[in-house]
Amino acid sequence: MAATTSRTLELLSLLQSHRHWAAHELVDRLGVSERTLRRDVERLRDLGYGIESARGSTGGYRLEAGTGLPPLLLTDDEGVAIAVGLRSQATAALRGAEHTTLSALAKIEQVLPPALRRRIEALQSHAAAGAGGPGSARTGRPSPEIDAELLGLLALGCRDSERLRFTYTDASGEASSRVIEPYRLVPVARRWYLLAWDRQREDWRTFRLDRISEVFPTRVHFEPRPMTDDDARARVEAAVRWRDRSVKVRAIVEMPQAALVEHLGWYGRDVVAVDAEHCAWPLEAEAAESLLMALIWIPRGVRYHVEGPPEVLEQLAEHGQRLAAASARR
C-alpha cells in the first residue's frame, strides 16, 4: 500500500509539472505497466482531481482546469516559498486581501513540518525589506541563483544568534574560511547579502550569498549587537555602492603575514598568508591615488609587487614615475 501511495503521489507531481503527458512517457517515468497507470489515474480522480485522457498514438493525460482546487503536492522548498510570499503580502497590508491572505497562510503552515515552519519564521523575521540601487534591474544582468536551503540555514543562524563557519569566494576568485556572527539577510540590486560581524577581522562585513559555500553551524551562540532592519539595509547598500565604484588591487609582499600585520596594525586586518615568506594585502579605494598612499606603508626595503586590473596598474606606474621625477636631484 505504501508503494502504491508513493507512486500515485509521484504521478500527481508529474501531472502538476507538465501540461500534457503521453501515456508511454508516464509508464517509463514511473516504471509501471499501462494497466497500473490507468489504476493510479482512477485513484486520483476518486480524490477529486479532474484528469483528462486521450486515446491514440499521441494519447495521454493532463489535469483539467476546474473550479475546485484539490490538495496541492508541494516540495519542501515550494512550501517555504509560498508561505514566505504569503507572509510578506500579509505584513504589507495589501488592501482587500488581508483576510484571504491570512486564511491561505494558515492552511499552508498547518500542514508544514515543524522544521520548515522554523525556516519560514527565521526568513520572515531576519530578512530585511528589499531595495533597488546599484546594479538593479536597469543593468539587465541576470540575478545569481540562490539555494533555498542555504537561505534558510543562514536565516536560522541570524534568528538563533549562532556563529557560522563557511567558505567565501571574493570577486577575484580567492576563497577563504570565515567565522561570523550573522545578523540580517538583505536583498539589494537583485542579489541577496548577509550582514555579519566577522570575528577574524573584528568588523562588519557584507557577504554575497551566491559566493558562500560549505556552511557549518558551530552551535556556539553569541550576544547580538543592536541592529534594526533599517540599519542593516543602510550598511549593506553602502557596501554595495562602495564596491561598485572602488578600484581594487592586491599587494604581494615578501614578508611573513604576522610581521606585516604587526607593522600595519588595524590596517592589516585583511592580510592573508601566501606562504611562510610571502603574504597578500588586498587594497580597495575610490581612486588609484589612495591606493598609492596605502602602498607607502609597506616597510622600506621590503620587496613587493601589485596585482590588479591593467588600467589601475598603469595609473600606479604613472604616479610612481611622477614621484621619481619630482624627487630626482637636478
Percent of the chain with pLDDT over 90: 18
Phi, psi (degrees; rounded to nearest 5) at 127 = -115, 110
Question: How big is the CA angle at 222 (ends 266 and 239), to the nearest 5 degrees?
Answer: 50
Is the CATH number of domain 2-63 3.40.710.10? no
- Note whether 135 and 142 are within 8 A (CB): no
Domain boundaries, given as residue ranges, for the chain: 2-63, 76-126, 145-245, 247-327
Q: DSSP assignment of 60-83, as one string?
A: EEEE---SS-PPP---HHHHHHHH
pLDDT at 64: 72
Tell me, which fold does domain 247-327 have in CATH?
Alpha-Beta Plaits (3.30.70)
- Note whether 208 and 195 are within 8 A (CB): no
164 bridge partner residues: 180, 217
pTM of the model: 0.46
| Distance of alpha carbon 318 from alpha carbon 294, whole angstroms | 16
* Mean pLDDT of the 179-196 span: 85
Q: Which of 100-114, 214-228, 265-279, 293-307 has the lowest mean pLDDT?
A: 100-114
pLDDT band at 191 (very low <50, low <70, confident <90, very high): confident
| Distance of alpha carbon 43 from alpha carbon 46, whole angstroms | 5
pLDDT tens digits for range 114-126: 766 666 666 665 6
Amino acid, res. 121: E
Residue 26 to residues 34, 54, 74, Cα–Cα distance (Å): 9, 14, 19
* Mean pLDDT of the 7-21 span: 74
| Distance of alpha carbon 223 from alpha carbon 118, whole angstroms | 21
Tell me the CATH number for domain 145-245: 2.30.30
**Strands in the chain per DSSP E:** 21-22, 51-54, 60-63, 162-169, 175-188, 191-198, 203-208, 212-221, 247-253, 272-273, 279-285, 304-307
pLDDT at 95: 44
Strands across the sheet containing 162-169: 203-208, 191-198, 175-188, 162-169, 212-221
Q: DSSP assignment of 138-149, as one string?
A: GG-PPPPP--HH
pLDDT tens digits for range 70-115: 555 566 666 666 666 655 554 444 444 445 555 555 556 555 667 6
Q: Is 185 helix (H, G, I), strand (E, B) or coil?
A: strand
pLDDT tens digits for range 31-84: 888 888 888 888 888 777 778 888 776 678 887 765 344 555 566 666 666 666
